[in-house]
């Protein structure tokens, strides 16, 4: 069945939660508060993981909030139809989530001191994760890996270009209220904290892949099958770095590298996968 995406400012969004009104409201009218904290990602980069981490930081590592309240209520998706209402009634300081590219992020952010935490991931692992996500999301129509890879590079995937998303947000890299981290660095956190403080240890344990898989408040297992059908695969699928090596052919890898070099030219940052 063809999926009718919602298009806003040239970017298409999955229709289940998004509307032109919610996106336009988020862009033009949403009032950012100075004490807001935004969890921003391109899809499949560790969004839900960062939601768990930030919720646990707020709870000083104690997991009770994470285990009793849905992640989407702890950190509403403020640019979506349902998330918008939750965000408007959320008492300060708010934790908020989105996949918005920089150019359609709330205009009121420009003059605020609200914090942005931007998590990004090796784009090749993003494509692989996206590929499996498409199998369990009825709103994502591409189920053939070469087709998804081509769509990712064009780009014609929902949420727009990974390359533009990263370039747009990385323009803020020198701002005090902007912090970026990679999925690959997050995987090292447990190793770096040696010996970790008790709160850090609790946080690392409760935000671990294993703990998250067992927590229905973040594993998406409670979603109805027409939104996410986890009989076809798990949302928290593998949680590893470098799975692209099991999926890209040599030719696909070479082509992707060429496109990556072209599209990221002039970006003055070296990510773990560039080294």
The binding site for ligand A3P (CB under 6 A) comprises: 41, 43-49, 125, 129, 132, 207-209, 212, 236-239, 243
Residue 36 or residue 125: which is nearer to ligand A3P going by CB? 125
Query: Is the Cβ–Cβ distance between 121 and 44 less than 8 Å?
Result: yes
Structure tokens at 240: 């590893």
Answer yes or no: 99 catalytic. yes
Residue 220 or residue 252: which is nearer to ligand A3P going by CB? 220
> Whose CB is nearest to ligand A3P?
239
Q: In terms of DSSP H, where are the helices of 2-95?
A: 20-24, 47-58, 64-68, 71-74, 81-88
User: How many whole angstroms from its chain centre is CA 70?
Assistant: 16
Q: Find the shortest distance in angstroms from Cβ 21 to ligand A3P.
A: 24
| DSSP structure class, residue 228 | -
Q: Which of 99, 140, 159, 165 is catalytic?
A: 99
Specify the DSSP element, H or E, that contains 39: strand 37-41
Q: Find the shortest distance in angstroms from Cβ 54 to ligand A3P.
A: 13
Query: Is the Cβ–Cβ distance between 112 and 37 less than 8 Å?
Result: no
> How far is the C-alpha of 209 from the C-alpha of 183, rounded, in Å?
12
Q: Find the shortest distance in angstroms from Cβ 176 to ligand A3P.
A: 25
> How far is the C-alpha of 183 from the C-alpha of 240, rounded, in Å?
9
Residue 69 or residue 108: which is nearer to ligand A3P going by CB? 69
> How far is the C-alpha of 122 from the C-alpha of 250, rounded, in Å?
17
Question: 119 pairs with which residues across the strands?
Answer: 41, 181
Closest among 205, 123, 219 to 167, alpha carbons compared: 123
State the catalytic residues. Answer: 99
């Amino acid at each position: 069945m063809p999926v009718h995406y919602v298009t806003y400012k040239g970017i298409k969004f999955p229709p289940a939660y998004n509307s032109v009104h919610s996106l336009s409201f988020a862009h033009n009218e949403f009032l950012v508060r100075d004490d807001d904290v935004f969890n921003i990602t391109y899809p499949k980069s560790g969004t839900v993981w960062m939601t768990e981490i930030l919720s646990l930081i707020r709870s000083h590592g104690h997991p009770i909030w994470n285990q009793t309240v849905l992640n989407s209520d702890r950190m509403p998706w403020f640019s979506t139809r349902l998330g918008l209402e939750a965000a408007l009634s959320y008492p300060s300081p708010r934790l908020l989530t989105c996949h918005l590219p920089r150019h359609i992020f709330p205009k009121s952010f420009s003059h605020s001191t609200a914090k942005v935490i931007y998590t990004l991931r090796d784009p090749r692992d993003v494509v692989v994760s996206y590929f499996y996500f498409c199998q369990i999301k009825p709103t994502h129509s591409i189920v053939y890996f070469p087709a998804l890879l081509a769509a990712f590079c064009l780009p014609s995937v929902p949420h727009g270009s990974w390359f533009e998303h990263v370039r747009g947000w990385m323009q803020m890299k020198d701002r005090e209220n902007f912090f970026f981290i990679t999925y690959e660095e997050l995987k090292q956190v447990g190793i770096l904290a040696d010996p970790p403080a008790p709160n850090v240890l609790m946080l690392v344990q409760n935000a671990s892949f294993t703990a998250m898989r067992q927590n229905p408040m973040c594993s998406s297992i409670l979603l109805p099958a027409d939104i996410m059908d986890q009989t076809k695969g798990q949302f928290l699928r593998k949680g590893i770095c470098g799975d692209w090596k099991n999926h890209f052919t040599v030719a696909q890898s070479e082509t992707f590298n060429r496109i990556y070099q072209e599209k990221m030219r002039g970006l003055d940052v070296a990510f773990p996968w560039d080294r």
